[in-house]
Amino acid sequence: MHSRGIAHRDVKLDNILIEDKTNMIKVIDFGFAAFCTNQQKLKIFCGTPSYMAPELVRKHEYDGRQVDMWALGVLLFALLAGAFPFRGQSESELYSKIQRAQIKYPETLSRDAR
């Protein structure tokens, strides 16, 4: 996707499918997707709050591919830990924690997984 200049901008568990017969992973729901070049910064605030990168929650211009990679990291954390790395009682509390990017790893995660 990225090598073709496409940023998904809503990478999350709900948008990943695994095909039964082949175990092929498929990314779905390209409703927020955008074409981007190496120098182009995006300005549209979009995505799912728990997966948003710090630059998104700060409402700064951003590289769509980088926010996809951040969201992929959140997705991987959720798969391994069974919970999101950042949680809050409100969106503003969640966004504050994302901006600080301080993660507490569950003790159940192996050193390699961390």
pLDDT surpassing 90 at residue 104: no
Return the pLDDT at 37. 80
Q: Which of 10, 14, 29, 68 is catalytic?
A: 10
Amino acid in position 53? A
CATH fold, domain 2-100, is Transferase(Phosphotransferase); domain 1 (1.10.510)
Give, in order, the Cα–Cα distances in Å from 46 to each of 53, 62, 109, 113.
11, 11, 30, 29
Give the residue-averaged pLDDT of 15-19.
95
Residue among 19, 18, 16 nearest 51 (CA): 16
pLDDT tens-place string over residues 23-67: 999 999 999 999 988 788 999 999 999 999 999 999 999 999 999
At 84, the pLDDT band (50, 70, 90 cuts) reads very high
DSSP-assigned letters across all residues of 29-91: --TT-EE--SS--B----S-GGG--HHHHTT--B-HHHHHHHHHHHHHHHHHHSS-S---SSH
Our answer to whether residue 10 is catalytic in this structure is: yes
Query: Residue with structure tokens 């095909």?
Result: 19
